[in-house]
Structure 1
Amino acid sequence: MTEVRAGEGSAAARNSLKLVLDRVFGSYFWGLNLATWAVWIHSIVSVSLAYQLTRSTLVVGLVMAAQWSPQIVLAPLSGAMADRGNLRRQILLGRSLAILGSGGLAVWIAVVGAAALPVPALVGAGLVLGIGFAIGGPALNAMLPLLVRPSELPQAVALYNLPGTLARVAGPVLGVAIMVFAGPAQAFAMAAAAHVVFALVIRTLPLERTKRLASNVGTSLLGGFRYLRSDTGLLVLLFGTAAVSIGADPAITLVPSLSEKLGDDQALVGVLAASFGVGAMAAYPVLSVSRRLLGRVRTGAGGAALLAVSTLVLAVADLPWLACVLLGLAGVGMTLAVTSFSTMLYERVAEEFRGRVMALWTVALTGSRALAGTMNGLIVDTFSLEAALAVCSALVLVAACLLPRLR
């Protein structure tokens, strides 16, 4: 069962302003903004607390791994569920777990205090949050094309990625500010409240009645993998998404270590993370121009290359302002790459496989952060911060080289 808006396939495409003001897509867009900011607030406060309590980058990586690892196991299953189930109900279930993860941690800290908080509580809360993302994420992805007209899909995909970019700017700064001036319990409580708002938006979203998609291929998980194997272009796009996601991980997992290297200023953690977000947001005005002049493949490959080079140079940066500039450039590259990859993926995948394939995209985009967080933490603790940045850069560079071969 898939939820659709009927009778709008041949209508003229609306611009971005009209889309974000639309009763259906606009509600989805603004609610997603709040929920994505909540994720970043939870993430930055969690890693900051983990580092303050242990002074270990590996523990920071484990906290992030707990938050993102459920995507690897559960997202493919929930993608198959999205292709045959009720999208609204699935999203609400996932959002309820997100509320429990952030809200439970807020209550725990309010009762025992941040200094007495055991690290396993941070890991456990992140795990509950991650399970919620894994369950609801594929349904959110599958719902997106059903909220707009076919001709509006490229613009809708760009707008869908925008909340994550805005959250990279607002989330870390807001999270650190609330943590410093009010306390971590208040920061987690605000994150939980934002998830509540988004759940209410989804609950009241005025969608049309559902209809069953005709398909002779079924909705099994194995059917999705067989379809994926038949199109190597989809595999390239998924690998590119995973590589870019790993390349963007230092902007959150490694910023406590980078801040310590540059002067050990707690406020600098939020500034460094936000710099990446500012760059990512600044890329949107040039995105359509780049696509028109270079095409989506070259835009995506160029963005990945920019991310790789900026991350590599960051390894030798020793001034806070230079680190901010490099993280900003890396953010530009991430936006160009991820938005181009995801648009090509939506346009390439058949509708009856959308839930399962976009679930694998979720694994590539967010599940890879579990690997990245653990990998980066282990490399920093075993070798150095510079080595971790170099490894991330190399992975993204491989993706940049593969993309021009896409057909």
Structure 2
Amino acid sequence: MSGGRPMTLVRTWRTATEAFSAPSFGYLWGGSAMFSFAQWMEWTATSWLVFDSTGSVFLTALSWAARTAPAMVMGPIAGALADRVSRVRLLVIAALLKAAVLGLISVVALADEPPVALLLLLLLASGVALPLWIASTQPLIQDLVGAERAMSAISINSFGQRVVGVPGAFVAGVIIEKLAVSWAVGLAAVLMLVGAGLYLRIRSPRQMEARVTSLGDDVREGVKLVGREPAVAMLLALMVVVENLGFSMNSVLPVVADEIMGVGPAGYGLLVMSRGVGSIGGTLGLAALGDYRHKGPLLAGVVAAFGLLVVGVAISEVFAISLLILAGVGAAMAAVDALEWILLQAAVADEFRGRVIGAWNVAIGFGWVGPVVLGGTASILGVQPSLAIFGSLLVMVGLGVGRWPRLREL
């Protein structure tokens, strides 16, 4: 062979999986996979529950917004906690909180007409756990494997969340169709407990140091960090936009499944699972890249492609084609998340890694706006025109940020 050192499949696999040589990484990977499986079940089951109970596009979108809104408040707190206390302990708390809330939702779902207001409140409570989980998981990965292997480790952990978690969407759809929503949510609660058990096995090498500052001081320092670091502010602003224009598509997928595709809960589960299957490819591709140097331009390209794919979802009325398009959407979603986590942590000192991921949680917390606007717009214009508008705007954002000199340097 000629042309330098071509990357073989064996080398690609070794690069992607070398993080497992680090002690305890396997337990983190397994716990994250269980957490993710349960979460995909939760997303699928609760979205369908609200849509099936109300028939309202807006309320279905609002239920998605309820999951993300708590991150606006919890993001800085979760980030500061992740820099102060045991990240393993925070992961266990997040999983147990999720299990408790899902157990309550499974009981509420038994009612013939579940009270939507109560469901929204419970989804808000469920949303409190997610910032704790994310703010603890991403820095803990680097604690376990080191900075040099962080990109591969973050990507392969994200891959695990999806390769194990993605079937949760389909499983939830089948359980809903064959049994009931309450069974699907109840199983998700049990799996959260399994995840908590795996997290308890982790032994982190991180040394906890005595803090001379209060939690409030650490939260304020995390907020100031955004103003001090232009790269951090830029990445967070981009995440707010992508969350609202791109990720908000998730909030109307039950409507796409029912009103456009004409499929039931199992078909909806397949649509969600297809998105997840694509995310597996996206994360594995990033893991195989190793310590790729041009991450900023790559992020801009992924954002533009994400927008095109959302437009594709808007246009397609063929179920099989929509499955393929949603696989691409999933790859883009996974790549955006992983690249943001990697770039944000690379832009700050080690002692701020938890807080910068906490700031990222705040950014996605603003994502409640997108589903509300999309749901309201879809109620007036229809789901397909609304998705086409959101996707087109996202394409323009991706092309625009690709011209930012600072992003091209990352």
The answer to whether structure 1 residue 92 and structure 2 residue 92 are counterparts is yes
Q: TM-score, normalised by structure 2?
A: 0.86
Q: Deviations over 1:95-139 (max 9, x none)?
A: 222111101122333xxx342322123212212211222344322
* 2:32 paired residue number: 32
Partner secondary structure for residue 204 of structure 1: coil
Aligned pair partner of 1:178 in 172, 175, 180: 175
Distance 1:146 1:293, change over 3 A: closer
Partner secondary structure for residue 94 of structure 1: helix
* 1:5 paired residue number: none
Q: Deviations over 1:376-405 (max 9, x none)?
A: 212211322123313432145314421442
Distance 1:325 1:368, change over 3 A: farther
Q: TM-score, normalised by structure 1?
A: 0.87
* Runs (5+) with no aligned partner, structure 2: 1-13
Distance 1:368 1:39, change over 3 A: farther
Distance 1:22 1:85, change over 3 A: closer
Moved over 6 A (4+): 213-218, 289-294
The answer to whether structure 1 residue 314 and structure 2 residue 313 are counterparts is yes
Distance 1:263 1:86 in 2: 46
* 1:74 paired residue number: 74
The answer to whether structure 1 residue 206 and structure 2 residue 203 are counterparts is yes
Partner secondary structure for residue 151 of structure 1: coil
* 1:376 paired residue number: 374
Task: Compare 136-145 and 310-319 and name the one that shifted more.
Answer: 136-145
Q: Deviations over 1:253-290 (max 9, x none)?
A: 11111123334211221122222222222234543566
Distance 1:362 1:403, change over 3 A: farther
Deviation at 1:371, TM superposition (A): 2.3
* 1:143 paired residue number: 140
Task: Compare 344-353 and 216-225 and name the one that shifted more.
Answer: 216-225
Distance 1:92 1:278, change over 3 A: closer
Tell me if structure 1 keeps the 8 A contact 2:16–2:152: yes
Distance 1:288 1:168 in 2: 18
Tell me if structure 2 keeps the 8 A contact 1:290–1:299: no
Distance 2:128 2:20 in 1: 29
Tell me if structure 1 keeps the 8 A contact 2:41–2:185: yes
AA aligned to 2:361 is T
Tell me if structure 2 keeps the 8 A contact 1:243–1:396: no
Distance 2:141 2:78 in 1: 16
* 1:335 paired residue number: 334
Distance 1:286 1:135 in 2: 27
- The correspondence of residues 386-405 of structure 1 with structure 2, limited to 5 A, is 386-393=384-391, 394-395=393-394, 397-405=396-404
Distance 1:340 1:28, change over 3 A: same
Deviation at 1:213, TM superposition (A): 7.9
Tell me if structure 2 keeps the 8 A contact 1:283–1:332: yes
Deviation at 1:51, TM superposition (A): 0.6
AA aligned to 2:242 is V
- The correspondence of residues 288-367 of structure 1 with structure 2, limited to 5 A, is 295-365=294-364, 367=365
Q: Deviations over 1:51-103 (max 9, x none)?
A: 11111011112211222211111121221222223323333332222111101
Distance 1:133 1:336 in 2: 19
Partner secondary structure for residue 117 of structure 1: coil
* 1:193 paired residue number: 190
Distance 1:263 1:331, change over 3 A: closer
Partner secondary structure for residue 115 of structure 1: coil
Tell me if structure 2 keeps the 8 A contact 1:41–1:171: yes
Distance 1:136 1:329 in 2: 26
RMSD: 2.7
Report the identity percentage. 21
